[in-house]
Structure 1
Amino acid sequence: MQLGLFLGYQTAASSPAHHLSLTQEAERLGYAVAWAAEAYGSDSPSMLAWLAGQTSRIGLGSAVMQIPARTPATTAMTAATIDTLSGGRFRLGLGVSGPQVSEGWHGVRFAHPLARTREYVSVVRMGLARQRVQFDGAHYQLPLPDGPGKALKLGFHPLRSEVPIYLAAIGPRNLRLAGEVADGWLPIFFSPEHAAAQLSAVRAGQAAAGRQGVAFDVAPSVPVVVGDDVEACAELVRGYAALYVGGMGSREQNFYHQLAVRMGFGEAAERIQELYLAGKHREAAAAVPLAFLDQTALLGPVARIADRLQAYAEAGVTTLSVIPFAPAEGAAETLRAVAAAAERAAIGG
């Protein structure tokens, strides 16, 4: 199991300089990849291209580039460009986002997300391979059939004709799709205790596509708080968990809430959502069970984190990406602590 760094978004608390210094420290420590995210603020490709010019070895991944934000051809162009600029270090993480962002920010209907993703990945792969892009799908038609468009291919020779593609997937059908069409999976709130059913869906997708035995990277992003008191460490993650389980989406359509229910935290998930949507964010955070936090984050002293890293590796994780839940000045120390825990657990760097 390799280690990665999840940078998240650029915010007032995480400046570009902070992201750069963390990425360079992760590279020095031997971390395999740094991931940048986007929602409706900073975009991930710009951050990754900037980091590419100031690093030399660490992989650079989008977690994610939003499918409704770009045509598949634009995504292929961007992936090929960053991969070439970085010397072949780019990993393309894709996701459909959610209805609020897709329809509210991008103006794209959140309809048929599985079918759209399947077609999208197909067109991206055609573009990266410098094939003439001709596609007749339900959601994408290239060229358009009733106009002057012509089938085109990527206008430069990228460093690689195949860039690893990852899907951000939560539900069983999305997981199956990841196994069918992608090279990796980007989970959130991944729990070693509940991984078997999720990975079974991935394997079913691989089998359906005849891809058994193909290398597949399971790459969750995991909050980390290092300290002597596990419960005190968990307090720093409560707000993050409550935001996703309670407020990331509507009452009727919140994928993270549904995940918590499948994990056996249904009663708590209902309470968290009720409080969060009522604007009682602190109470919602307090309602997040310690067991949920402990299963989905790395909490406590280095020795305990080493034990949990071993559990993640045994559950099938191949790249574990650290989300440092620490003040800016302590984030690099968190990376060093996890590297030490990984060495102690003998799981690789």
Structure 2
Amino acid sequence: MLGLGNGDEVGGLSPAEPPSRPDQKSSSLISMTEEYVEVVRAVLAGEEHEGELFRTGRIALDRPPRAGMPIYLGALGPRMLSLAGRIADGVILDLMSPEQAGEAATAVRAAAHDAGRDPGSVQVLAVIHCCLSDDAALAAEAARAVVPRYALRPGADRLFGARLDEARGHARAGDHEAAARHVPQRVADRFVAHGDAVACSARVAEYRAAGIDLPVLFPMPVAGIWDLPLLINAFA
């Protein structure tokens, strides 16, 4: 699979001449992403593309991909979720609680249905940050430390359901420990699975019950240690 997204200023991508209004910017990014998917599909198929925003000739790839390479879109907002349902083979959700992910999955499938597609043909993935440890307190602390990584993103307060001004200020200053201390535990609990293997497995099950086709575990450090084998063995 190939994952695509439209990025944001924090992630390093914005239009060369950004529109003057937020709604114009959103529409511009959605249109750009929609046509970019067409470009990528044309390139992968060895075809040309000439559209309103992009133009490309045939490109010789060193290692041609298999036919029908599925394209997944990363999506958070309603317009990208709708676009994914209309044109993508799958959608990648992130930073969402099980409830939010379930609502997003419903929106994607509704858009697919409205576009005349089989809703079940659009696979819904959800990235689940995971802080695995038998020490519940350490795991909870690690979960709070995940939030400042994303606090500078546009719309973070709306997404997380809380004002994160203090955490954001410390994150901008590069003091990640202080930033984590100013994250309410309830914010981290919304989208980070943490605790022992039983607790983390139960949290993953909540995503499946909400309608997620494929939970994707994103291991995070606990007490500064990235113990990937521990996570792999716990869910093997």
TM-score, normalising length from structure 1?
Answer: 0.57
Partner of 2:4: 94
| Secondary structure class of the residue paired with 1:186 | strand
The 3 A distance-change label for structure 1 pair 225 and 136 is closer
Match of 2:110 among 204, 210, 215: 204
Partner of 1:299: 194
Partner of 1:18: none
Deviations 1:171-212 (A, max 9, x none): 111111111111112222121122232223212321232113
Amino acid at match of 1:259: L
The 3 A distance-change label for structure 1 pair 282 and 159 is closer
Contact 1:275-1:284 at 8 Å conserved across structures: yes
Partner of 2:228: 331
C-alpha separation in 2, matches of 1:157 and 1:286: 47
| TM-superposed deviation, 1:293 | 1.7
Match of 1:117 among 33, 57, 75: 33
| TM-superposed deviation, 1:117 | 0.3
C-alpha separation in 1, matches of 2:2 and 2:136: 34
The 3 A distance-change label for structure 1 pair 204 and 274 is farther
C-alpha separation in 1, matches of 2:91 and 2:66: 21
The 3 A distance-change label for structure 1 pair 113 and 293 is same
The 3 A distance-change label for structure 1 pair 214 and 109 is farther
| TM-superposed deviation, 1:301 | 1.6
Contact 2:146-2:188 at 8 Å conserved across structures: no
The 3 A distance-change label for structure 1 pair 209 and 227 is same
Match of 2:54 among 121, 136, 140: 140
| TM-superposed deviation, 1:280 | 5.1
Amino acid at match of 1:282: E
C-alpha separation in 2, matches of 1:284 and 1:333: 27
The 3 A distance-change label for structure 1 pair 190 and 312 is same
Amino acid at match of 2:231: T
Amino acid at match of 1:181: I
2:155 matches 1:266: no
Identity %: 29
| Secondary structure class of the residue paired with 1:220 | strand
Structure 2 residues not aligned, in runs of 5+: 19-24
Contact 2:167-2:182 at 8 Å conserved across structures: yes
Amino acid at match of 2:215: L
Amino acid at match of 1:117: T
Amino acid at match of 1:300: G
C-alpha separation in 1, matches of 2:202 and 2:54: 46
| TM-superposed deviation, 1:214 | 4.0
Contact 1:166-1:185 at 8 Å conserved across structures: yes
C-alpha separation in 1, matches of 2:61 and 2:201: 47
Partner of 1:239: 145
